[in-house]
Amino acid sequence: MIGNALTRQTPIKSPLEISDLFRAKEIDTDWSFIQAKPSDTGKWTHDYHRYPAKFIPQLVERLFDEYLPTRDAHVNDPFMGCGTTIVSAISRGVIASGTDVNRIAFLITKVKATPIDPDHLGKKINGLLAALKDGHIEPAIPPKHIHRIKYWFSDESTDELGKILRAIQQERDPAIRDFFLVAFSHILKTCSIWLQGSTKPTRDLSKPPVKPIDALRRHLRKMQRGNAEFYAVVPARTREHLKAYLQIKIGDARHQSARNATVDLIVSSSPYVTSYEYADLHQLSTIWLDFADDLTAYRKEFIGTSYKSSDNTKPRSQIARDIVEKMSQVSAKMAREVEAYFVDMQQVFDESYRILKPGGRCCYVIGNTQLKGVDILNAEAFADSLQHAGFALDRIIKREIPSKILPQKRDKKTGRFASNKDADAEAYPIEYIVIGRK
Ligand SMILES: C[S@@+](CC[C@H](N)C(=O)[O-])C[C@H]1O[C@@H](n2cnc3c(N)ncnc32)[C@H](O)[C@@H]1O
């Protein structure tokens, strides 16, 4: 059934028309932001924490410029990740709401979107570093994860990280404590034996050790500079009433807290099917910060995970169903994962439709890929699914992804991202912004 189909002004595009539309689409070089330097993409708080498949603020800002009506607006992102959309919305003094099931993503987003008085922050950072220099701190090492911690960290690093964590826990101001926790979370990979360039959990036993205190000091100073820049751009009213503006929660993309027809614009990039296992790749932070009691259950909360497969519900989109059908000829298991993914995403689009104001737009950034030789035409399936949620297909932007932003390669057999030297297929040399209008 197609929601609101009878009342819409724009005719529904058939699967064939959607395919033709995508085939004819030219790359819009204006949207590649080739000229953006790392200092632009990492400005303000955007470089607080690494995050796989984050998009660049320039893309979000351009969508805001084109579609955000007034200052009294409400922006939503159901898949916040490390909060690029949310930070950009707060910088413009508009309401920012959203979700992520990933506890680390929520923490990063909250801290990145919270400007702190620079003088206050400076004193607190100096205080923490001084306390750590004094030394006499009993390490706080989460006992139930000790085996995992020992797997990834030397005894010396474990001890030093435990001391840092204890000192952070003693901080009374919650905004400062969270700020420190993000710095702590960010340095974990560098201080572990996790293969540095890899998103996959691979050990590198010959990795040169990095002293946690040194890494923390460097990163805190960098974050301090980012906070000062951000503080200067966020309107004073937003800073003073941040709770009213920043309405984010840990939660599922299919359940937004925004009321019906209250959101002006959604800018989001969804997970991909069986690409990143976010629960696994943030495991260093998850274990140190003790964010998941049951990793098996936690993994299943993620859309696109290979730990979950379809309960036999069929996607509403014919394009999605055709992809599942093709996949079922190659791998029944993967077909069920792809099916579950498209069914879940349809529910996300239904939720986007519910919360948007009439005339409001949702912009989903997504790329196509291949799994086991089958073309996974996510963008076409999203365009079709948006219509099934009640949206008119408003615009499709085809853009190149400069290589410094996303990994370019996938392993052909598994479909997972791989480091460039191991992989044999292009992953997302281009991606789409699929825009629906309510
Ligand atoms: C491509 S990333 C978003 C990146 C984001 N645009 C940024 O700039 O950082 C997709 C996000 O979806 C989140 N996610 C996966 N399943 C989810 C679900 N069921 N509900 C909410 N978020 C989910 C992942 O944790 C991940 O952070």
Ligand 1, atom nearest to 53 Cα = 1
- Residue-wise pLDDT tens digits, 275-303: 677 777 888 999 999 887 777 888 888 89
DSSP output for 92-115: TT-EEEEEES-HHHHHHHHHHT--
Q: What is the enclosing helix (H) or strand (E) of 334?
A: helix 332-355
pLDDT at res. 8: 52
Buried/exposed 150-177: b ≥16 CB within 10 Å, e otherwise: eebbeeebbebbbbbbbbbeebeeebbb
What is the average per-residue pLDDT within 144-167? 95
- Residue-wise pLDDT tens digits, 82-120: 999 999 999 999 999 999 999 999 999 999 999 999 999
Q: Is residue 273 part of a domain?
A: yes
> Any idea which residue has 């089958």 for tokens?
374
Among 79, 82, 345, name the best residue to mutate to test ligand 1's pocket (greatest count of ligand atoms within 8 A of Cβ).
79
pLDDT at res. 329: 96
Here the CATH number for the domain that contains residue 269 is 3.40.50.150
d(C-alpha 29, C-alpha 155), whole Å: 50
Range of the domain at 341: 15-115+234-437
pLDDT at res. 1: 36
pLDDT at res. 131: 94
Residue finishing a domain among 179, 212, 229:
229
Q: Is residue 90 part of a domain?
A: yes
What is the average per-residue pLDDT within 412-435? 64
The model carries a pTM of 0.92
Confidence of residue 7 (pLDDT cuts 50, 70, 90): very low
pLDDT at position 5 over 50: no
pLDDT at res. 150: 95
Residue finishing a domain among 214, 229, 244:
229
Indicate if 90 and 137 belong to the same structural domain. no
Q: What is the enclosing helix (H) or strand (E) of 364?
A: strand 356-366
pLDDT at res. 276: 72
Residue finishing a domain among 209, 229, 249:
229
Among 41, 47, 101, name the best residue to mutate to test ligand 1's pocket (greatest count of ligand atoms within 8 A of Cβ).
101
- What's the mean pLDDT when you consider all of the chain? 90
What does the DSSP 8-state code read for residue 203? B
Indicate if 398 and 293 belong to the same structural domain. yes
Neighbouring CB atoms inside 10 A of 239's CB total 17
Amino acid at 316: R
pLDDT at res. 427: 43
pLDDT at position 53 over 50: yes
Indicate if 253 and 375 belong to the same structural domain. yes
Residues with a CB atom less than 6 Å from ligand 1: 51, 53-55, 78-79, 81-82, 84, 99-102, 105, 252-253, 269, 271, 278, 301-303
The two three-digit tokens of residue 429, written as one number: 């040399």
- Residue-wise pLDDT tens digits, 315-363: 999 999 999 999 999 999 999 999 999 999 999 999 999 999 999 999 9
Indicate if 367 and 262 belong to the same structural domain. yes
pLDDT at res. 134: 81
Q: Is residue 1 part of a domain?
A: no
d(C-alpha 100, C-alpha 202), whole Å: 25
